[in-house]
Structure 1
């Protein structure tokens, strides 16, 4: 878990403003990642309409995490936001930083804050999104109510850091219920969506691999600093991030 860091004095207005901007960028990055996982749901549901039984099949992994206890979730939501605040402080004060968050904390925030802070997911037919963290994989799952098909869409991603320090979310699989969607179909849906126009996102596909790439250079820790992600580890129930705060060369 991230250890508290010595941050700038609260009376330093400039430092406070930089921290607020960095926190906003982290929240925006989280939203972009969520969008990259779920933005295909409404269109893909239309593809699945003719295969209703397979598309509406239950997904036990999702059913196991979708229900929450309100009191426990509120505590976990606060823990998640505290982790974010500490991470922001660390990126400003430390040359190297790391953090650990759990799937329960992420899902508590998704349940209690996503639609309030970033409205529009339900309007797009994407309901009750959750994250399932497995060994090496982050699985996004949500109910899709688009086009009358009430199925559960799941997208399994393998996060990794590229040689150019970008965050790559390799698409391992995508399904609605038990119905598998091909990578070509998934990438086609993503290219037709607003996602490619969302900075700092780009799409990559070659041979049998496809990925959503996030350019982390767009996340700045201050006027004279930049963030560099050095590692992403996904373990059952938890996500670990490691990185550095660097001073760009003129």
Structure 2
């Protein structure tokens, strides 16, 4: 009798856990079901905006970038597999995002050996004070379906793929949560100056980034020397008066 009761309890717990692991977060369900035509259109808009943005930052000027989670999801649905077929591991499918207030929600289908579920994580993204061009990404509320899962394995996976992509990551703690610190390069072969990010803002449905590309100290000095040289050449030689 005791054995029968124990088996019944185990079966009930197992079924409850399985059902919880199959829960689909509302944000992910909404982001996943988008008409293909709309996904193509919004994905194309994202690529156009990113292309224009990359040209803006190449020259000394103020610049900004505004992306919506709808545009990002359209691109993920219509372009990710085709343009970056090897980017995601085989057990990860259909990544999607949502911006709720100041929180970025990220979800995907996970098809592992012992678990098939929807993984989701809540992220807070911010600029780190006192460190130029350093973005902090705080991870919390990692779930499989509606079940909380240990975050350690996720951090290992992040480090693995960051190494493959040659993205240096430093880790800190904030309110008990791990925070990935990522430094955005301030220069490049096609950038005429140095990039300075001064604002990163998340609000419902949108990600806003702004900053400035400034001339380097060497460029300013060269321009000053050139202006002085031109001025000297234009000035009359000592002892010679203009008639």
Same fold (TM over 0.5): yes
Residue 167 (structure 1) shift: 1.2
The TM-score, its normalising length taken from structure 2, stands at 0.73
Q: Which residue of 1 aligns with 2:57?
A: 91
Preserved CA contact (<8 Å) 2:67 2:207: yes
Preserved CA contact (<8 Å) 1:135 1:236: yes
Question: What are structure 1's unaligned runs of at least 5 residues?
Answer: 1-49
Question: What are structure 2's unaligned runs of at least 5 residues?
Answer: 1-15, 219-243
Equivalent position SS for 1:115: helix
Preserved CA contact (<8 Å) 1:143 1:152: yes
Per-residue CA deviation, residues 170-194 of structure 1 (Å, 9 max, x unaligned), is 1132111111124445435544x34
Per-residue CA deviation, residues 132-157 of structure 1 (Å, 9 max, x unaligned), is 11111111111111215221111111
Q: 1:200 aligns with which of 167, 180, 197?
A: 167
Aligned mates of 2:189, 2:208 — CA distance in 1 = 19
Preserved CA contact (<8 Å) 1:111 1:128: yes
Instruction: Determine which structure has greater relative contact order: mean sequence separation of CA pairs < 8 Å that are 6+ residues apart, divided by chain length.
Output: 1
Residue 224 (structure 1) shift: 4.3
Aligned length: 200
Preserved CA contact (<8 Å) 2:135 2:181: yes
Per-residue CA deviation, residues 195-219 of structure 1 (Å, 9 max, x unaligned), is 3464333131336131222211265
Q: Which residue of 2 aligns with 1:247?
A: 215
Residue 55 (structure 1) shift: 2.1
RMSD: 2.4
Residue 97 (structure 1) shift: 0.7
Q: Are 1:155 and 2:121 counterparts?
A: yes
Equivalent position SS for 2:93: strand
Aligned mates of 1:223, 1:245 — CA distance in 2 = 8
Label 1:223 to 1:88 Cα distance change in 2 as closer, same or farther (>3 A): closer
Label 1:73 to 1:194 Cα distance change in 2 as closer, same or farther (>3 A): closer
